[in-house]
Structure 1
Amino acid sequence: MRTLAVIALAGLMWPFAAGAQTCPPRPQETVRAAEAIDGDTLRLEDGRIVRLVSVLAPKAEPGARADAARRLADTARSALAEAVVGRDLGLAITGQKQDRHGRFLAHAFVDSDPDRWLQRDIVAKGLAWAYALEDNYRCVGSLLDAEAGARAARVGLWATDLGAIADGGRPRQLSGRTGRFAIVEGRVLSVGERPRRTYLNFGTNWSEDFTVYVDRGDCARFDTADIALKGLAGRRVRVRGWILDDRGPAIHMTNPEQLEIVDAR
């Protein structure tokens, strides 16, 4: 059984406050795509760069997975180009409008058709992971459903080592993954509450084992989603995010869309 939550925080949703519960969101602007830069980034005919928010396509990477990563990165870019280049796209902004690189962060719809949600399509084909950021997490629950279908069907990245879900009880599986996106599953052995953070501990050696932490200012989001972080002790969960080095591999969890409870109680 999976627990997911979508939080409506109107103050973060400009300009998507009206009808904020609608997923997928409604297109707000029509543009034309000129180029697929990679599997999740587009150049528009007006020169703007659009980063498809809430999805992460494979990128080239070093190491044992380099060949698979390169092939999938090429496949994802080609598939995106075939779907959108020279066509109209509807864009919807649902959170932060631009990233630090000046790229526009948007959901995209082929021919401005709400039923042709580009993010959902590429995730369903196994050409991207779903992910959530602190200020851009709208509709991630729907993308996780599409991802689950692709994983079950073993298509795209899920048919390769890139689709391997790391074991939270074996931190060595995350060795060398610092700064990279990962999905990690395991049993929470204990929950530590500190003045500044709450820690989900997946081992007993806190200087080496995998840990997930939530800053105090983000805990209210979990409360709103009826997820008691302290009550996760003993539960088997799946978390996603970028691996940090915090006296052992760690993920900073800012919102409930990064968390799935995968055991039944």
Structure 2
Amino acid sequence: MTAPRLARSILLGSLLCGLSFSTASPSVAASCGSEIQGGGIVSAIIDARTLRLDDGRDVRLAGVEVVAGDANDHRPALAALIGRQVILRGDGDDPDRYGRQSAFVYLDPSARSIQSELLERGEALASGDIADKACAAELATAEAAARQARRGTWANSSIIKNVENPVDILTRVGQFTVVEGKVLSVRQAGGTIYVNFGRRWTRDFAATISRRMIPYFEAAGIAPVSLENRRVRVRGWVERRGGPRINVLRVGQIEVIGD
């Protein structure tokens, strides 16, 4: 599977709420999204990540999250899809425990995914849980463009939480969050690896990685121990276990920056 190529975009026309989604050359769709898993006409928007099709299926946008409590309700962005035919791509069409099908969503076989469009406009965050390297790279590139331009969500300077303020991170318990800072140490206790950003486990932020994940990190060229003294960005769901924690279930949740 080849890496995404830069492709020209054209407007599809004036859509609801004045928003539009773009199309691109077939090489983009070929690089991300796996097999076609059917499609349908969008009949409703359930929330900022979920569409309902005319056959009753609920489709969850794979690979993205929306910041809870954001003053911007991003449903209007998806409202532009109501009445449109969409194509679903993914590794399977099995529903999750809530009955939703997780998929990459396209307006056309040759289009960029809706996820990439939302990320590039700063209306979503990459979740970091996509295993396919080409798909993950496409989403990361789209998010980086919005971050650098400070578009949408990224216009808020507090969107990335600083490890030096663990109290601020704790305000995000139970919510998807991006945390950034320098790793102080990496330690293993039992079957868990602790990527520590401070000295006090009862107060400071840490990312936890199951020892079973080590082969996946090493295959990606990121041995957990190599994170010491490096600046790292971690994304995931904040928990409180002593201090704030994010449990890393996918390699893509950790990004080394500033080398």
Does the TM-score normalized on the shorter chain lie above 0.5? Answer: yes
> CA separation of 1:222/1:96 partners in 2, compared to 1, >3 Å: closer, same or farther?
farther
Q: Please report how far the alpha carbon of residue 169 of structure 1 lies from its aligned counterpart in structure 2 after TM superposition.
A: 2.4
SS of the aligned residue for 2:79 comes to helix
What is the distance in 2 between the residues matched to 1:36 and 1:55? 16
Take 1:79 and 1:30, find their aligned partners in 2: how far apart are those partners?
19
What percentage of residue pairs aligned between the two structures are identical? 36
One of 85, 88, 93 as aligned partner of 1:91:
88
- Residues 33-64 of structure 1 show CA distances to partners (whole Å, capped at 9, x for unaligned) of 111122211010001100101111344x3xxx
* Alignment partners' CA distance in 2, 1:224 and 1:95: 24
SS at match of 1:230: helix
- Equivalent of residue 43 in structure 1, options 40, 43, 52: 52
- Is the 8 Å Cα contact of residues 86 and 105 (structure 2) preserved in structure 1? yes
- Please tell me whether residue 182 in structure 1 is matched to residue 177 in structure 2: yes
Report the CA distance between 1:97 and its aligned residue. 3.2
Answer yes or no: is 1:53 the counterpart of 2:62: yes
User: Aligned with 2:119: secondary structure?
Assistant: helix
Alignment of 1:189-208 (within 5 A): 189-208=184-203
Per the normalisation by structure 2, the TM-score is: 0.83
Report how far residue 261 of structure 1 moved: 0.6
Residue 25 of structure 1, aligned match among 16, 34, 45 = 34
Gaps of 5+ in 1: 1-20, 62-68
* Cα distance in 2 between the residues matched to 1:176 and 1:58: 13
- Structure 1 residue 140, shift from structure 2 partner: 2.2
Aligned residue among 134, 137, 140 for 1:141: 137
SS in 2 for 1:43: strand
Q: Which of these residues, 99, 116, 119, is aligned with residue 120 of structure 1?
A: 116
Mapped to 1, the partners of 2:170 and 2:39 lie a distance apart of 44
Does structure 2 conserve the Cα–Cα contact (< 8 Å) formed by 1:26 and 1:114? Answer: no
Mark the CA change 1:174 to 1:96 in structure 2 (over 3 Å): closer, same or farther.
farther
Please list the CA deviations of residues 12-46 of structure 1 after superposition, one character each: whole Å capped at 9, or x if unmatched.
Answer: xxxxxxxxx93243533131111112221101000
Letter in 2 for 1:119: Q
Q: How far off is 1:221 after superposition?
A: 1.0
Partner Cα distance (1:185, 1:200) in 2: 12
Structure 2 gap segments, 5+ residues each: 1-29
**Cα deviation, residue 114, structure 1:** 3.2
- The answer to which structure has the higher strand fraction is 2
Task: Indicate conservation of the 8 Å contact 2:37/2:92, yes or no.
Answer: no
Residues 80-137 of structure 1 deviation map (CA, whole Å, 9 limit, x = unaligned): 111x111111101236832221111011001x3332311100111111111033xx43
Compared with structure 1, are the counterparts of its residues 32 and 96 closer, same or farther at alpha carbon in structure 2 (3 Å cutoff)?
Answer: closer
Q: Which has the higher contact order (CA 8 A, sep 6+)?
A: 1
CA contact under 8 A between 1:97 and 1:106: conserved in structure 2?
no
- Amino acid across the alignment from 1:99: D
Q: Which residue of 2 aligns with 1:245?
A: 240
Two-structure CA RMSD over aligned residues (Å): 1.8
Give the Cα–Cα distance (whole angstroms) in 2 for the partners of residues 116 and 142 of structure 1.
9
Q: Which amino acid aligns with 2:50?
A: T
Distance in 2 (CA, whole Å) between partners of 1:81 and 1:253 is 32
TM-score of the aligned structures, taking structure 1 as reference length: 0.81
Aligned 8 A contact 1:126 1:157 in 2? yes
Answer yes or no: is 1:164 the counterpart of 2:159. yes
User: Secondary structure of 2:111's match?
Assistant: coil
